[in-house]
Structure formats: structure tokens, C-alpha cells
Structure 1
């Protein structure tokens, strides 16, 4: 009597499933064995920790003092023995720098430097004052100064327009100070004026430029420029 096979009892249908489950189980077991670690008893024990004792006292640094050694003794001086020059060549001669009497220059041969000539000399310090026309007959220098001052004052007061102050609205006493130079040729030069109004200054400059030519002043016998200053005072009556 043959046994009957039940189609539902065929185990070969699930072989693939069982194979996959077996592989998965083997992989999990291998992974677990690889990551498994074991420790020895000696390594696993923990050492007892003992705290360090702290002290509040600071350690004092130790300083070493260098010993001062005595200075070294000076060495004995070395004696130098002179060496005789055995070379046949003659020694170089040293020429003297002394000047012989024949080379002395005579005083007459020395060129004299020209004396310093001042550019402009004030009127009060000039040796020979300029000679204004009409003062030629005077020989004394002080008399020529007084004559020149008088002539220039009369010349200015005769030609200066004193009515200009009233036209400008000025009153009282007004002063215009005029400064000029009498150059080496005896001509008036570098005229300047200071006054209460520019028109008065221009009038003073105009009048001074009308002065006649004079004989120039001299310093040490040479013609020089002479600086002259004169104040012009006039009163304006309202």
C-alpha cells in the first residue's frame, strides 16, 4: 500500500525562504562576534584617586650671586728690539714747509681793499651835506645844513596846496611827513609821505619832486645818497 502525497506538505517550496533566513542569522551572529570585546580583570579595575595636598606657602626663588673675580694680572710688557735696516735704498727725504725770506711779499705789493661805502647816509651824519642852490657861499658844514633846511621849507610852503585839507573836510593842525633821498647825482629820489589823507601824501610827493638839482653830499670825499626828512604842518580853519 503506497502512501499518498499531500501537495500542501511539499517542503521544497520553502527552501529559498529557509535559506535566506539562515543567511541572515549567520550574518547577525558574525557581526555580534566581531563587535564583542573582552577586558582583563587587571585593566577593568579602577585606581583609587588621592587628591594632591595644596600648600598656601609660595616657594621662595633662589638667587645666585655671582662671585666677583679679581681682575687678571697684566701681562709682562713685550720688549721690542730694534731691527737694523740693511736695505741699500735711501730713505725718503721730508721737505720743509718754512718760507724763505726771498718769498716774503712787500707791503706795497698788497692790493688794498676798497673802503666800505654806505648806501644811504642820514642827513644828520653826513660829512659834507648836499648844497642847495643859494648856499654855495657858505663854507661851514653846519651853516650849509641850516641853509638847506631853510630853503627846502620855504620851497614847500610856497608850493604846497594847504587848501586841500579844507576840501577833504579836515580841521585843526595837520601834519604830513615827507621822506626823500638826494642821490649821488644831486637829484631827488625815493620820495615817500605819511599824512592824515592819501591826497595830502600825494601833494607832498608832488612838491618834493619839484625841488631843483643840488650838489650831492659826500662821505670820505665820495658822493653818496643822503636821506632827508621834513614835516609839513598846516592849520585848517573852518
Structure 2
């Protein structure tokens, strides 16, 4: 009997000395609506089918489609950019404007920025790209996607 009491006392003491207190944490409930993040635009050169300008044929090879669309955009900028602003400002030499924009899922330009040149020329470049006619949107992995482009506009005034 003495052995049983000592054994029970031993088990009781070891249980108490090695026991751990478990505290339950309160879990917070978030009621905010989770929004699906919009995928970021893909670089123009990385899409399966680039945005298509009106003069481009969808049956052409990728390189020819890219070149066709870029030539269309560059031609639009060259025709519409107000180069008289340069002479009004009295500027000479090489003027470089870095233009960045996105072609959205409807084929329209958005998020247009221009930097590097005088502010009036940067603003004019933005206004010119805002008048870019609607393109056929880009396709990547079977889905219509947004595409971003970045290119310089250079004016050499002598």
C-alpha cells in the first residue's frame, strides 16, 4: 500500500511539474472584402500577340506584328507632336523625352507619363498619346491583357 501511495504521489508530482498551461488565442475575424488584385501590365515584347494597329494583319508573324504596331505608334507621335513648341522655347540640340504608357484591355492608352524634356514638350507628348486611336488589345496565354511600352521621343533641333 505504501508503494502504491508513493507511486501515485510520484505520478501526481511529475504531472504537475511537467504540465504546461495552454492559453487559447482569440482569432480575429476580418470582415473586409477581399479584392482580387488586377494583374500588372505585361511588357510589349513579352506578349503572345501584341496590340494590333489598324494596318496590321493578325496572320503575320510576331516580329512583324510588333514592328507594325510600333511603327503605327511612332508615326502617330511624329505626325502629331507639336515641334513648333521647340522653336518657341528657343531650344536647340538633341531633346529626348522618355514616354511610358499602358494599352488597356480595350486597346486604349492609359497611365501615360513623359519625362526628360521641357515640361511643355512632356505635356504635349502625353496629349498626343491620349489621341492614339483604339488598337486591338494584346493577348497573352489566351487572355486579353494590358501591355506597357516605354520608348524615347528624340528631337534633333539644329
Given the two structures, how large is their TM-score scaled by the length of structure 2?
0.72
- 3-state SS of the aligned residue for 1:152? helix
Aligned equivalents of 2:143, 2:4: Cα separation in 1 = 77
Counterpart in 1 of 2:140?
219
Counterpart in 2 of 1:96?
none
CA deviation profile, 1:33-77 (whole Å, cap 9, x unmatched) = xxxxxxxxxxxxxxxxxxxxxxxxxxxxxxxxxxxxxxxxxxxxx
Given the two structures, how large is their TM-score scaled by the length of structure 1?
0.49
Specify which structure has the higher proportion of helix: 2
Specify which structure has the higher proportion of strand: 2
Counterpart in 2 of 1:177?
98
CA deviation profile, 1:66-122 (whole Å, cap 9, x unmatched) = xxxxxxxxxxxx479xxxxxxxxxxxxxxxxxxxxxxxxxxxxxxxxxxx9732111
Moved runs in structure 1, 4+ residues, more than 3 A? none
- 3-state SS of the aligned residue for 2:121? helix
Aligned equivalents of 2:102, 2:117: Cα separation in 1 = 22
Which structure is higher in RCO with an 8 Å CA cutoff and minimum separation 6? 2
Residue ranges of structure 2 left out of the alignment (5+ in a row): 6-36
Picking from 86, 101, 118, the partner of 1:165 is 86
Aligned length: 126
Query: Is the Cα contact below 8 Å between 2:58 and 2:65 reproduced in 1?
Result: no
Task: For residue 205 of structure 1, report the CA deviation from its aligned partner.
Answer: 0.5
Aligned equivalents of 1:230, 1:157: Cα separation in 2 = 13
Larger Rg: 1
